[in-house]
């Protein structure tokens, strides 16, 4: 088998794989929002994985502010529950 024939076959295979990937991505994106955990094969197609995202860091002042706001919400809920 000569090299040119091998190159042509590899290009044809690449084109068929690209077409198959396009069809699968279309199926994955056309389904819309689903409830619950996505299937394993669909989860692998997601663009941003959890470990790829940067970790959010909060300053101590922001943490304190959030804690005070939560305590205020809890107090309001407790007061509404008692009334």
Does this model's pTM top 0.85? My answer is: no
Which pLDDT does position 23 carry in this prediction? Answer: 83
How is 29-64 classified by DSSP, letter by letter?
HHT---SSPPPHHHHTT-SS-GGGSPPP---HHHHH
CB 10 within 8 A of CB 3: no
Task: Return the closest-CA partner of residue 31 out of 47, 21, 42.
Answer: 42
| Tokens (6 digits) for 72 | 């205020």
Q: pLDDT by residue (tens digit) across 35-75?
A: 777 777 666 666 556 667 778 899 999 999 999 999 999 99
């Amino acid at each position: 088998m000569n090299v040119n024939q091998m190159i042509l076959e590899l290009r044809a295979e690449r084109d068929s794989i690209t077409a198959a990937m396009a069809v699968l991505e279309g199926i994955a994106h056309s389904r819309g929002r689903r409830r619950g955990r996505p299937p394993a094969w669909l989860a692998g197609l997601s663009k941003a994985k959890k470990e790829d995202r940067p970790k959010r860091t909060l300053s101590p002042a922001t943490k304190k502010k959030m804690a005070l706001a939560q305590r205020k919400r809890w107090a309001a809920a407790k007061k509404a529950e008692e009334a």
